[in-house]
Amino acid sequence: MKKQDYINAVEKLNLYAKHYYVLDDPLITDEEYDKLYHEVVAYEEENPNEILIDSPTQRVGDVISEGFTKESHLSRMWSLEDAFDNDGLQKWLEKTYKLDKNVTFYCEPKYDGASLNLIYEDGRLVRGVTRGDGSVGELITQNVKTIKSIPLTIDYFETIEIRGEVVIFKEEFERINQARLKNGEALFANPRNAAAGSLRQLDSSVTAARNLVFLPYGVGVNGLFHKNLHDKMNFIYNLGFRKPPERAVCKNIDEIDSVYKQMLHDRESYSMALDGMVIKVDEIASQIDMGYTVKVPRWAVAYKFPALEKITTVKEIVLQVGRTGAVTPVAIVEPTDIDGVVVERATLHNFDEIDRKDIRLGDKVIILRSGDVIPKIIKVLVHERDGSEIKYARPTRCPVCASELLDEGVLLKCQNLECSARVVNSIMYFASKPCLNIDGLGVKIVEALFHSGLVKSVVDLFDLTLEKLLELDGFKEKKSQNLLNALQNARGSEYWRFINALGIEHIGEVASKTISEAFGFGFVNATKEDIVSCDGIGEEMAESLLEFIRVNAQTIIKLQAILEPLEPVKREEAKENPFKGKTAVLTGTMSQSRGEIKETLENLGAKVSGSVSKKTDFLIYGEDAGSKYDKAMSLGVVCLREDEMRAKI
Ligand code: IVH
């Protein structure tokens, strides 16, 4: 690579990153990005004196600080006055109109994260400072540089402070917490805490791994000339920052209210958590006239959304036993209305969480409900205790069948395969949508069938007859016949549904589809080697599958005979050819889509896998082949261009 190629490559990478992280509009695949990135890394290793300050390699989080130094903001970071309802908003508007009758209002989301001040000088990001007390914050430039939606350089050369909120998208938040749950670490209470905690990490690689996002909402010191805030913000967005998902300029309270209602309505669908809408006077000259109180600007207000967090009391902790035997604790709380929904239960995740948060019966707690997720307890109000609260003792016996629980540390498990909770939940799972999708097998019916002794496992469902059902309490002719029809209709389903319905640990819908496609009815005879060679199936899954087959082979055969699932169409045995029985990996851009080439190879009897390993026989590559090509070369895998592959066929 020549110097000019390097400069062009950095520029390209920054453009791709902007499209990906700022505009949500990716231009290229990750693979193509990685390839160019590695070329840049290689050049920089050979020419360390020529590294550009805006090279994406400069974002790599490998700096460990001993602590953060204090740093003054160039101009103060303010807080916001809150309005909690329409009345509050009206009062704020009256106050504001008294100062200036002829103003309009810029409305944008109030993001729920941690505020951050970015200082750019001569077009370069020179400092990132937390809000702190508004005058002095902490210098966290190294961490800030790992945030991909913050440009390292901008096309504006005067000194400017760009302020905004650092957030964690809701999906990323769930991902982080799931990982923490698995590792037995304390969970983050909400995306705000997760964002704030991630920003102040001494090891910037931790910050980098958290996928933080920066959303600008204003400027401090600046030499911009715009008359209106909305123009000023458009200028900022155009420097390479993310736009809000929704924004508007409003003339009066009715317009403000309709934007507010819209935002409230859209709230759940946004990637980031919002806690309200911020309304700001749009005319900069009027902002300057209105000025500030000791704490807040007179020209802005936060019109809050109804809180998703409420205080309530823990009345009881009950235990649920799932189909795998895992026992999960659930808190029963004093019923509380949260944004229109009465919450009575909150998940406690697992027993470690109860210990860690020290949740006691009678405790006052903060619960959070957001989206479709189950409400959770995010904090115990320890200072509210009066001594009557009762510590919760970890159970040793299954709450349903009383058999001894296996204590795995984080998880407690009921080991009894005949435990009614396990059986009932397995049947419910068997009948659920992503499995056999049997209508009319609700929990009441399943419990009745189980407790009558008629159904002890899913196989028994198919021995039910009208006479037997009519003997049960509450089963009239119509209800019984409906149930029998529904069971009859479960026959002839797709084979992956059948596999999924078996409820094999670690084998969900996606893996069931893979297994069904790869082996068809023959999956019971697959070897471990066969299984792990499937895309997306690892050791743990393969072992779980094999163990299940070992224990349940008879049941599988019996169920399959009853349910007559459809065998996925098997390819005809391929004639002898160089690809038959071989494993191939595809990479780069080819003359046909990868799906089409995969199909061609599979018809030749090859297995097409997603990643290169020692087991790969061929790597077939097109233009812009990336890291897979490098890996294949390093492993000595035969690499064929597309035309070379075709020549062999
Ligand atoms: S403006 C000059 N706009 O809310 C006014 N703040 O409660 C200063 N925040 O510290 C703030 N979204 O961290 C403003 N669109 C938005 C915001 C926003 C979130 C945060 C910010 C501020 C806090 C005040």
Q: Can you spell out the DSSP letters for 132-198?
A: TTSSEEEB-HHHHTT-TTS-SB-S--S-EEEEEEEE--HHHHHHHHHHHHHTTPPPPSSHHHHHHHH
CA of 301 to the centre of ligand 1 (A): 9
pLDDT of residue 26: 84
Lowest mean pLDDT among 54-63, 102-111, 333-342, 360-369: 54-63
Task: Please tell me the residue having the least CA distance from ligand 1 atom 3.
Answer: 217
Choosing from 80, 92, 215 the residue with most ligand 1 atoms within 8 A of its CB, the one to mutate for a pocket test is 80
Residue nearest to atom 22 of ligand 1 (CA): 79
> Residue 141 is which amino acid?
T
Residue 593: what pLDDT?
85
Q: What is the mean pLDDT of the chain?
A: 92
Q: Is the pLDDT of residue 461 over 90?
A: yes
Using the mean position of ligand 1's atoms as its centre, give its distance from the Cα of residue 65 in Å.
28
Q: Which two tokens stand for residue 565?
A: 């699932």
* CA 368–ligand 1 middle distance (angstroms): 22
Res 168 pLDDT > 70: yes
Sheet of strand 638-641, all strands in order from the earlier edge strand to the far edge:
607-609, 583-587, 618-621, 638-641
pLDDT band at 112 (very low <50, low <70, confident <90, very high): very high
Q: What is the pLDDT of residues 190-214, one digit of tens each?
A: 889 999 999 999 999 999 999 999 9
Q: What is the pLDDT of residue 189?
A: 81
Ligand 1 atom closest to the Cα of residue 110 is 12
CA distance 649 to 643: 10
Residues classed as catalytic: 110
Q: 603 and 622 in contact (C-beta within 8 Å)?
A: no
536 token code pair: 């997306």
Distance 66 CA to ligand 1 centre (A): 29
As a whole-number percent, the residues of the chain with pLDDT over 70 amount to 99
Residue 440 confidence (pLDDT)? 84
Residue 23 CA to ligand 1 center (angstroms) comes to 22
Amino acid at 177: N
What separation in Å is there between the alpha carbon of 241 and the centre of ligand 1? 16
Residue 70: beta bridge partners?
138
Assigned token pair, 265: 């309505």
Q: Is the pLDDT of residue 157 over 90?
A: yes
CA atoms within 13 A on the CB side of 154: 24
pLDDT in tens, 346-387: 999 889 889 989 999 999 999 998 766 689 998 899 999 999
Distance CA 431, CA 501 (A): 7
Shortest-distance atom of ligand 1 to CA 82: 7
Which domains, and CATH codes, for the chain? 3-59 (1.10.287.610), 71-304 (3.30.470.30), 309-391 (2.40.50.140), 420-489 (1.10.150.20), 495-563 (1.10.150.20), 583-648 (3.40.50.10190)
Using the atom order of ligand 1, give the atom closest to the CA of residue 114.
Answer: 13
Which residue minimizes the CA distance to atom 1 of ligand 1? 217
Distance from residue 300's CA to the centre of ligand 1 (Å): 9
Structure-token pair, residue 269: 């669908």
Is the whole model's pTM more than 0.75, yes or no?
no
User: What pLDDT, in 10s, does the model give residues 495-522?
Assistant: 999 999 999 999 998 899 899 989 999 9
- Nearest residue by C-alpha to atom 15 in ligand 1: 110
Residue 604 confidence (pLDDT) above 70: yes
Confidence of residue 161 (pLDDT cuts 50, 70, 90): very high
The helices-and-strands tally (H runs, E runs) of the chain is 23, 22
Please report the atom of ligand 1 found closest to the CA of residue 302: 7
Nearest CA-CA partner of 357 in 337, 338, 376: 376
Give me the half-sphere count of Cα atoms (radius 13 Å) on the Cβ side of residue 463: 11
> What's the rounded mean pLDDT across residues 89-110?
96
pLDDT of 569 reads: 76
Res 371: pLDDT? 64
Residue owning the nearest CA to atom 5 of ligand 1: 78
Q: Are strands 274-281 and 300-304 parallel, antiparallel or unpaired?
A: antiparallel
Question: Is-contact 369 308, C-beta < 8 A?
Answer: yes
Report pLDDT for 134: 93
Using a 10 angstrom Cβ sphere, with 0-12 exposed, 13-18 middle and 19 or more buried, the burial of residue 404 is exposed
pLDDT in the model for residue 612:
85
Q: What's the pLDDT at 599?
A: 83
Asked if 560 contacts 521 with a C-beta cutoff of 8 angstroms, the reply is: yes
Quick one: which atom of ligand 1 is closest to the CA of 297?
2
State the pLDDT at residue 269. Answer: 86
Residues with CB under 6 A from ligand 1: 78-80, 108, 110-111, 115, 131, 165, 217-218, 278, 297, 300, 302
**C-alpha closest to that of 424 among 477, 475, 395, 460:** 460
Other CB atoms within 10 Å distance of the CB of residue 457: 15
Two tokens at 555? 């049941």
**Among 29-38, 41-50, 224-233, 381-390, which is the least confidently predicted range?**
29-38
Testing ligand 1's pocket by substitution, the residue of 79, 115, 161, 279 carrying the most ligand atoms inside 8 A of its CB is 115
What is the average per-residue pLDDT within 266-285?
94
Atom of ligand 1 nearest to the CA of 108: 15
Q: How far is the CA of 251 from the centre of ligand 1 (A)?
A: 21
Whether residue 581 is predicted with pLDDT greater than 90 in this model: the reply is no
Q: In a 3-state reduction of DSSP, which class is residue 402?
A: coil
Taking residues 410-418, what's their average pLDDT?
90
Residue minimizing CA distance to atom 13 of ligand 1:
115
Query: What pLDDT score was predicted for residue 570?
Result: 65
- Residue having the nearest C-alpha atom to atom 2 of ligand 1: 78
pLDDT at 140: 95
Say how many Å lie between the CA of residue 274 and the centre of ligand 1. 11
Q: For residue 218, which atom of ligand 1 is closest to its CA?
A: 1
Residue with CA closest to ligand 1 atom 17: 110
Q: Taking residues 444-461, report their average pLDDT.
A: 94
